[in-house]
Structure 1
Amino acid sequence: MLRLAAASMAGTAIEFYDFFVYGTAAALVLGPLYFPTVSPLLGTLAAFGTFGVGFVARPLGSVLFGHIGDRHGRRPVLIVSLLLTGVATVAVGFVPVYDSIGIAAPMLLLLLRFAQGLGLGGEWGGAVLLTTEHAPAHRRVLWSSFPQLGPPLGFLLANGITLVLSATLTDAQFLSWGWRVPFWFAGVLAAAGLLLRNRLPETPEFRELVARGAVARLPFAELARDHWRPVLLTAGALSVSYATYYTMSTWSLAYATDRLGVDRTVMLGCIMAAIALSGVITPLFALLGDRFGRRPLCLAGCAVGALWTTPMIALLHTGRPPAILLGFLGGTLAFTAVFAVIAAYLPELYAPRVRCTGAAVGYNLAGVLGGAVTPLVATAASRGDGPPWGVAVYLTAVALLSLGCFALLPETRPTGAADPADPAGECAPA
């Protein structure tokens, strides 16, 4: 289990590194480099628009790679999705700017960002099922939380490289070529990830489906017919975590540096400290999920999110790094409580024959609602001179929506799963 979990975590870290490095670039440099003919505000909106395309592509990737995972196995998904995302990310680092090739420059960004999202949409489902379907019932949340450590690790790596470059290069050097270095480095990470995943075993539950001849012929059609309700509910339920995460990691970076005059390096440091906390507390929340259930942790995370968004925005608007960090730490507690248990919760809502598709589609639809839309809405809602209370209202509304959706979902913790006397997982759901 430790080897499988480590391989799953490393793969998701690489995939999310690829995805996050684009978000950082969109907040810092893509607007003036690829949309120089519009105002700075519209340039930022346009850059976040290309950022959002990746989220729109993710549900499509879930359907495509979910079909592969439910028809041909979880393992092939991990190889192909990593290769697609890695190639697209490296290619972004070579796209000429608008002044060189005109409108073709942002169009190429859109195309490559779409490919990134397509690959990441398939990655998550395969990675979490690799651990979930191998894990014993009484520790399923803990083992499945390892892939959930990938996003904070990928974010820290992406922003750490950007932070070093930002601190050591002049503004002219960073705008000229420095921002491209993290994209080129993705090629090294993708090669390492492919070597790591090449020898992973197929999951026992999928092997059993093959042995019984019970593999779904058209997983998405079956999902849409018989499981549409949990798909829609999980999409709404996870929206608050995405919205909070990308408010902190993407929109706030552009807002604080452009509007409040906070140093770029200082802001990156605040965001990285908050995301580092997420990585530390994820296993702790996962243990609570095994002990008390998945749903209570999710409901608590949504409630904290609804209560904390206004203080977080107020602290951000002060422009003082200690206050900004305090606000981010509260937001981190809220979204981590949900993300720590969701890798076990979502697969448990679906039968094994459509599990790869169902878990991935619900997870990535939430990315569209909470991740793609949030930077655009937040940028538009913060145009005035005062505190951006419109952003706080929007985040609170999303948190209440997610709270209601989780309230309508069932608890899935197997009866007796907290008892180590059931190591084989006989009480696990079918």
Structure 2
Amino acid sequence: MAGDRSAERVRAQVPTSSDTHGRRAHRKLLTAGLVGSSIEWYDFFLYGTAAALVFPHIFFPGSSPFVATLLSFSTFWAGFVARPVGGLIAGHYGDKYGRKPAVVVSLFVMGACTFLIGCLPTAGAIGVAAPVLLVLLRFAQGLACGGQWGGIVLLLTESASPKRRGFSGTFGQMGVSFGVLLGNLIFVGTSSSVSNEAFLSWGWRIPFLLSAVLFPVVYFIQTRVEDSPEFKELERQVAAGKEVVPQAPLLEAIKGSWRTILLGCGLLAATNALFYISIAGVLSYATAALDMNRNELLTMSMLSCLISVPVVAWSGWMSDRIGRRPLIMVGAVGIVVWAFPYFWLVNTANLTAFFVAVTVGSIFQSMTYGPVAAYMGELFAPNVRYSGASLAYQLAAITISGGTPFIMTALIEETGTTTVVAVFVALMGVITFASAWRLRETNPASVRSDPQALPGLAHAV
């Protein structure tokens, strides 16, 4: 009898072909999520680098340097204005018809719009029509970006085992750092290969045209990746009459979870503000006001992003073990403390000091960003999850992300100092800490210690 039980335990520990297939399929999904989100964010952030360093010269040549920079950053902001709209549209269809279809459409639109920006005539060729077309394409980029985040992170986290959702979600979050890294690498490589005149004439187009590599990724996801098991289970529950998908998932999410949506938006305040200052606002400031070398700054930004990748992965992994809130709150406190030293170091106009400023800031903001993918989804019920999580995430985009470089430039011009910008960043850190403090833990000790328990809504606000 004892020998029979021992044999049963041994057989239970041997992976079945189904288990092996499941793990292989999940690894394939993690890879597709990382590659797809990296290229998607490459497309979106590439615009920010160009808005800081190129677009003022070729789309607003008749304006003063200050006005041209503001106008360029205002077109950058247009993408963030569109992101909530894209999130609402994708969330509606993603909750009703599946995560994968919404992701595929979003990725395709992003690749097409970025490629077309690379084909745009400049203001010197077609006048005012050039910046108008630029804004329209940037708006469409924002729609696509707003739709893809929720879909990718839900595919990743809903397909993961309950105890690995935090880590799995980081494969969508790490795409942000890889996107910036790829964008800066190609931008530096292109600008270093040709003269400044040639770069402003045609070289700047190359990074945008390279976005065509996103299309094979879209095809792979469409043909080789399945929708999440949790959404498939929801479909089965709906077919059996045990569950209902609202006709308007967004309205249902707002009606039942509007406080959670606003607090979810607040979770991203600190990381978004410091991130967009580092990849756009401070690049413009350091080149224009401090006369620092553009390519050297981009190189430092690339190295900083490279360091942030393992921090994002580690923070998601740790959130599976100690909970989502602790990582977010520690990162938020770090951003508050670092806000003033950040700008003191940048203002030295020393390249090493600049690198230290953006890298330490990147570590703190990555700690808050890593767990958000799993945390945000767990705050909402499956039938409104795409809509609720996307709305919270994209509200932060329109209220904080897109406007931060513009606000930074205007504040420095008005006050002649970066002190007010540091105060702004510290305030964002306080908002993130307060939001995490108010939200309850979705992965508490009682869930982490129970192999059968699922992190999620029962433990949220």
Deviations 1:346-386 (A, max 9, x none): 00000000001111111111112221110011001112795
Do the aligned residues in 2 keep the contact of 1:381 with 1:391 (CA within 8 Å)? yes
Pairwise CA distance, 1:182:
0.6
Deviates more, 1:70-79 or 1:208-217: 208-217
TM-score (norm 2): 0.90
Structure 2: which amino acid aligns with 1:313?
F
Say whether residues 1:269 and 2:302 are aligned partners. no
Distance (whole Å) between structure 1 residues aligned to residue 448 and residue 313 of structure 2: 15
Look up the SS of the partner of 1:227 in the other structure: helix
Q: Which residues in structure 2 correspond to 1:407-418 (within 5 Å)? A: 407-413=437-443, 415-418=445-448
In the TM superposition, residue 330 of structure 1 has moved relative to its aligned partner by: 1.2
Partner Cα separation in structure 1 for residue 430 and residue 221 of structure 2? 40
In structure 2, what is the equivalent of residue 248 of structure 1? 278
Partner residue of 1:342?
A: 372
Output the aligned Cα RMSD.
Answer: 1.5
| Equivalent of 2:126 in 78, 101, 105 | 101
The match for 1:367 is 397
1:130 match? 155
Which sections of structure 1, spanning at least 5 residues, go unmatched?
none
Aligned pairs, how many?
427
**TM-score, normalised with respect to structure 1:** 0.96
Q: What are the ranges of 5 or more consecutive residues in structure 2 without an aligned counterpart?
A: 1-25, 239-243
Quote how far apart the aligned CAs of 1:192 are: 3.3
Shift of 1:217: 1.8
Q: Distance in 2 between matches of 1:215 and 1:326?
A: 49
Q: Which deviates more from structure 2 when the two are superposed, residues 397-406 or residues 377-386?
A: 377-386
CA distance in 2, matches of 1:429, 1:48: 38
> What displacement does 1:194 show?
2.7
Deviation at 1:237, TM superposition (A): 2.2
Q: 1:119 aligns with which of 122, 125, 144?
A: 144
Q: 2:362 aligns with which of 323, 332, 335?
A: 332
Match of 1:191 among 199, 202, 216: 216
Q: Match of 2:336?
A: 306
Q: Which residue, out of 47, 54, 73, partners 2:72?
A: 47
Correspondence 1:209-224 to 2 at 5 A: 209-213=234-238, 214-224=244-254
Give the one of 165, 169, 188 matched to 1:163: 188
CA distance in 1, matches of 2:420, 2:202: 36
Judge conservation of contact 1:165–1:174 (CA < 8 Å) in 2.
yes
CA contact (8 A) 1:137 1:427 kept: yes
Q: Which amino acid aligns with 1:400?
A: V
Does 1:427 find its partner at 2:457?
no
Q: Is the 8 A contact 2:41 2:179 kept in 1?
A: yes
Contact 1:15 1:154 in 2 (8 A): yes
Quote the offset at 1:201 in angstroms.
0.7
Q: Match of 2:116?
A: 91
Given that residues 10 and 193 in structure 1 are in contact (C-alpha distance below 8 angstroms), is that contact kept between their aligned partners in structure 2?
no
1:380 is matched with which residue? 410
Percent identity over the alignment is 38
Please point out which of 45, 54, 59 is paired with 1:34: 59
Runs of 4+ displaced beyond 6 Å: none
User: What's the CA shift for 1:413?
Assistant: 0.4
Residue of structure 2 equivalent to 1:287 = 317
